[in-house]
């Protein structure tokens, strides 16, 4: 049986993408060992839903040094020794690296073993880094170098046997940078069928918003996600939709800026900050709402990314309103599941909400298309098939 060694540079669980991939591979007949970290006294080896967890002790200093993984050698020096131990102890056949922060340590540890390497890029990480708050102020802006990470990423792309991306747009961007496009596999962050077939609703939660025309945001609330646009738009929307309500389910270190904007604009009665909630509540929030939003600011990362929230919204028949970040714009327009607004344009955002509100026939068409698109095509059980095929091909080549 092929032994897949997944490498994750943080504690596990939770990590939905890692878990989804691992469980699908196990179901397909592969054995999965997951290298992960612990900052407590969790046991070294544990079986979790069929995944063989192998935990390695870490600490806050190592965590901080991971932000300088390619500026300083210390993180790689520590982690590659742990990965070498993991490869030998678990008798790994293939290495599957989750994102690039730990990729350098993996390639260093693999010099002797020369195992096939799968690089799973959850994000366009060097571009994401540029939006991190700590890189916009001293000392982060002086020390951390996204351009250096971009060069390292290119090295990893060329060294990897297979590269997993999360969208067509990201795949196209990577394809321009490597010689062998057959190395590329797309595995988007879609929802499991159970999300929309096996859920329980919280009637009290739904009742809280029954008198509102609610627009919903689920996920990380960092400013680059565009919630300031949605908040500013409420000042225009409330003139046409008296019972408008923006529901925000999520948190980030930048929430104070969102809260202050609501106060400054006198919009407290129109916004509900729910904080982070257990994912089991998401279907209830979706059923309580009229529109699901993803008002991302455009960037090299956001232009090639699908937000998982979109698939959650659509799977339960919620039309979406998204910014014109390329990947999500094309997804929405191609499948006729909602509307697109200009990024950072509160007036355009408002006009699109009002447009959906005033046109119930078109609204219902979007709702039906959204639900059908996810349930017939774009769910995890379907979109994970290329991942399974890739590993079947690797198995044939090894054995």
d(CA 114, CA 93): 10
d(CA 208, CA 206): 5
User: What is the dotted CATH code of the domain comprising 193-376?
Assistant: 3.40.50.2000
Query: What would the pLDDT profile of 304-313 be if each residue is shown by its tens digit?
Result: 888 889 999 9
- The strand pairing partners of 98, in sequence order, are 120
Per the CB < 8 A criterion, the answer to whether 249 and 220 are in contact is: no
According to the model, what pLDDT value does residue 131 have?
67
Residues of the chain with CATH 3.40.50.2000: 3-187+384-398, 193-376
User: Helix count (H) and strand count (E) of the chain?
Assistant: 19, 14
Query: What single-letter DSSP state applies at residue 191?
Result: P
Token code pair at residue 291: 């529109």
According to the model, what pLDDT value does residue 139 have?
66
Of 244, 247, 271, nearest to 259 by C-alpha is 271
Q: Give average pLDDT by consecutive 10-residue segment, the chain, 399 residues.
A: 96 92 97 96 94 95 83 89 97 95 95 96 76 62 76 93 91 87 91 94 97 97 96 97 98 95 98 96 98 95 88 97 96 97 98 98 98 96 96 90
User: What is the dotted CATH code of the domain comprising 3-187+384-398?
Assistant: 3.40.50.2000
Query: What would the pLDDT profile of 44-97 be if each residue is shown by its tens digit?
Result: 999 999 999 999 999 988 888 888 888 888 899 999 999 999 999 999 999 999
d(CA 166, CA 150): 18
pTM to 2 decimal places: 0.87
Q: What angle do CA 14, 17, 20 make, to 5 degrees?
A: 95
d(CA 107, CA 126): 18
d(CA 21, CA 12): 14
Phi-psi sector, 275: left (phi>0), alpha (psi -120 to 50), beta: left
């Amino acid at each position: 049986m092929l032994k897949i060694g997944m490498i994750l540079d943080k504690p596990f669980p939770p990590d939905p993408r890692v878990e989804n991939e691992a469980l699908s591979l196990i179901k397909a007949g592969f054995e999965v060992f997951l290298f992960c970290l612990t900052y407590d006294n969790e046991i070294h080896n544990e079986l979790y839903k069929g995944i063989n967890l192998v935990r390695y002790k870490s600490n806050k200093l190592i965590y901080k040094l991971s932000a300088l993984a390619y500026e300083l050698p210390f993180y790689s020096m520590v982690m590659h020794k742990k990965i070498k131990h993991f490869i030998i102890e678990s008798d790994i056949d293939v290495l599957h690296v989750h994102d690039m922060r730990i990729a350098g340590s993996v390639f260093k540890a693999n010099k002797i073993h020369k195992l096939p390497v799968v690089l799973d890029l959850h994000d366009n990480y060097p571009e994401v880094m540029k939006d991190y708050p700590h890189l916009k102020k001293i000392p982060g802006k002086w020390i951390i170098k996204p351009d250096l990470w971009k060069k390292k990423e290119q090295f990893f792309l060329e060294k990897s046997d297979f590269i997993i991306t999360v969208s067509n747009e990201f795949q196209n961007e990577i394809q321009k940078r490597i010689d062998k496009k057959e190395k590329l596999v797309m595995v988007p962050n879609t929802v499991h069928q159970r999300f929309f077939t096996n859920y329980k609703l919280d009637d009290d939660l739904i009742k809280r918003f029954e008198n509102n025309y609610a627009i919903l945001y689920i996920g990380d609330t960092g400013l680059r996600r565009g919630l300031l646009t949605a908040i500013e738009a409420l000042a225009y929307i409330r003139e046409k939709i008296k019972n408008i309500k923006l529901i925000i389910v999520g948190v980030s270190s930048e929430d104070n800026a969102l809260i202050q904007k609501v106060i400054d604009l006198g919009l407290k009665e129109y916004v509900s900050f729910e904080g982070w909630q257990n994912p089991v509540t998401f279907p209830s929030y979706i059923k309580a709402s009229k529109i699901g939003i993803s008002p991302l600011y455009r960037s090299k990362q956001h232009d090639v990314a699908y937000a998982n929230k979109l698939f959650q919204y659509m799977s339960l028949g919620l039309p979406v309103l998204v910014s014109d970040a390329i990947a999500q714009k094309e997804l929405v327009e191609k499948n006729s599941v909602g509307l697109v607004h200009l990024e950072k344009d509160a007036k355009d955002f408002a006009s699109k909400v009002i447009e959906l509100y005033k046109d119930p026939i078109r609204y219902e068409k979007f709702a039906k298309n959204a639900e059908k698109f996810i349930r017939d095509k774009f769910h995890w059980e379907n979109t994970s098939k290329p991942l399974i095929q890739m590993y079947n091909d690797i198995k044939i080549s090894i054995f």
